[in-house]
């Protein structure tokens, strides 16, 4: 491995036009690793990534979504000339196709997932060869890091062809698996377990998720390494909090507008809150991405608020930019994303706290571990709108408590949940000594 300016190839999974937590995490980590002297190339797979920070990924896509789908569905596309492949993998074409909101049926998605996990033995074998050839001839990395194990079908070939270590981050693999229909879920799980021996180490953001995935994927505990989640705190530190009580009290929601993120739980709790005396001024600010799969659900929740006579008591900000995110965070008193599923990361928690905004989250997933480290929030039982209403009411009624939680969380996130600390720990895991920093 290189002594100076070590090279890391970081393969990240694009999520079409969606702001994806994994893309945001990977992009931030790649920036921080490069700043510390580890020359890091962020390589999109499936689709280009979308991030609200500076995009540092390369302008090409491996395992292009259009291409791998056609290779899965039509035999002839597994043998077409490379110049046609190059056209199908052009980032602008993939963006255009994904912008149409096209959905793959669960059965087709399951079969494609299993095939991709089989790597050189799957229908996309020529894409594995192309990636390995490019890494070997053009990039020549010292180590490869995968954004998740679901793109790990290439790992055995990378290790054989390049003779370098391969690591994988686990950050939501279980959620994707659970959405697959049978028999594809079981087949995909079996393939992922077989890939474990080809991975030198697994990076997770919490002990909770490490234990969960160790059991699910049968990963030896010594291969699991906790790298605490971090963010670029610089922009959030510029937000000034006056300490004075606002004319109106505002609750924020900043996440994908989907059932798994618990928007419906928050909407029900907010409706209950507005029925209580003394909360006439409380306002709900909702922001987040909604694609074709979530638009009906999102519209239903917003209509519930209107039907409850709360048209003037909430604002739908839609999908927002980084500047709009900072503006929203500067104007709310607390953040609540009551996820129904067990969140493996919780980026919005760190962003909110870095801005001095306390959080209310369910007592499950990575949240207990995260808040035990940095503070700045309170827990509610999962999927319990009544308990959530009580907690929100108590907090918005106590300006002192909000200020205390916000100040505590902000100081701790800035001090030890920044992107530099995340990068240092990552370099320790992959056994690279940074040349600067």
pLDDT digits over 195-241, tens only?
A: 999 999 999 999 999 999 999 999 999 999 999 999 999 999 999 87
Domain check: are 137 and 242 in the same one? Answer: no
Give the pLDDT score at 18.
66
Q: How far apart are the first and last CA of the chain?
A: 19
2 domain-assigned: no
Q: Contact 430/145 with Cβ under 8 angstroms?
A: yes
Residue 74 CB neighbours (<10 A): 11
Q: Contact 305/282 with Cβ under 8 angstroms?
A: no
Domain check: are 25 and 174 in the same one? Answer: yes
Domain check: are 18 and 130 in the same one? Answer: yes
Give the pLDDT score at 81.
74
- Of 12, 13, 429, 6, which Cα lies nearest the Cα of 223? 429
- Of 36, 39, 31, which Cα lies nearest the Cα of 6? 39
216 domain-assigned: yes
Mean pLDDT of 291-320: 94
Domain check: are 334 and 208 in the same one? Answer: no
Helix (H, G, I), strand (E, B) or coil at 377: strand
**Token pair of 155, please?**
């790992």
Domain count, the chain: 2
CATH code of the domain in which 249 resides: 3.40.50.2000
Domain check: are 146 and 278 in the same one? Answer: no
Domain check: are 49 and 195 in the same one? Answer: yes
Q: How far apart are CA 206 and CA 211, in angstroms?
A: 9
Domain check: are 38 and 160 in the same one? Answer: yes
Q: Contact 23/296 with Cβ under 8 angstroms?
A: no
Domain of 86, in residue numbers? 7-232+419-429
Give the pLDDT score at 2.
46
Mean pLDDT of 334-338: 98
pLDDT digits (tens, 9 = 90+) for 150-173: 999 999 999 999 999 999 999 989
- Of 314, 312, 310, 367, which Cα lies nearest the Cα of 337? 367
Domain check: are 327 and 225 in the same one? Answer: no
Give the pLDDT score at 286.
98
């Amino acid at each position: 491995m290189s002594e100076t300016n070590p090279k890391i190839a970081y393969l990240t999974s694009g999520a079409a036009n969606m702001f994806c937590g994994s893309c945001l995490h990977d992009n931030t980590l790649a920036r921080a690793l490069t700043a510390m002297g580890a020359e890091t190339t962020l390589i999109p797979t499936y689709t280009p990534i979308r991030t609200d920070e500076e995009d540092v990924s390369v302008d090409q896509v491996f395992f292009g979504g259009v291409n791998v789908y056609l290779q899965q569905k039509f035999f002839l596309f597994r043998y077409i000339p490379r110049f046609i492949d190059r056209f199908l993998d052009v980032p602008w074409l993939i963006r255009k196709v994904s912008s149409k909101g096209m959905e793959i049926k669960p059965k087709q998605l399951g079969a494609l997932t299993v095939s991709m996990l089989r790597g050189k033995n799957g229908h996309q074998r020529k894409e594995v060869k192309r990636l390995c050839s490019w890494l070997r001839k053009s990039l020549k990395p010292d180590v490869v890091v995968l954004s998740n194990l679901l793109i790990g079908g290439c790992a055995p070939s990378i290790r054989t062809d390049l003779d370098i270590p391969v690591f994988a981050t686990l950050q939501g693999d279980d959620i994707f698996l659970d959405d697959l229909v049978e028999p594809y879920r079981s087949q995909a799980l079996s393939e992922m377990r077989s890939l474990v021996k080809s991975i030198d180490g697994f990076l997770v953001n919490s002990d909770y998720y490490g234990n969960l995935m160790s059991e699910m994927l049968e990963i030896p505990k010594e291969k699991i390494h906790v790298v605490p989640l971090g963010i670029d705190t610089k922009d959030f530190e510029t937000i000034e909090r006056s300490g004075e009580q606002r004319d109106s009290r505002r609750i924020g929601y900043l996440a994908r507008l989907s059932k798994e993120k618990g928007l419906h739980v928050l909407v029900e709790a907010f409706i209950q809150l507005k029925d209580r005396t003394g909360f006439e001024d409380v306002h709900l600010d909702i922001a987040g991405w909604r694609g074709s799969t979530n638009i009906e659900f999102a519209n239903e929740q917003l209509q519930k608020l209107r039907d409850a006579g709360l048209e003037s008591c909430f604002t739908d900000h839609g999908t927002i930019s980084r500047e709009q995110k900072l503006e929203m965070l500067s104007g709310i008193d607390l953040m609540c994303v009551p996820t129904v599923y067990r969140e493996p990361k919780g980026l919005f928690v760190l962003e909110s706290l870095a801005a001095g905004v306390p959080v209310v989250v369910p007592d499950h997933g990575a949240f207990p571990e995260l808040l035990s480290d940095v503070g700045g929030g309170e827990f509610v039982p999962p999927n319990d709108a009544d308990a959530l209403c009580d907690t929100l009411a108590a907090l918005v009624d106590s300006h002192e408590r909000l200020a205390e939680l916000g100040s505590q969380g902000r100081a701790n996130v800035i001090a030890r949940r920044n992107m530099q600390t995340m990068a240092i720990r990552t370099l320790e895991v992959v056994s690279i000594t940074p040349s600067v920093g």
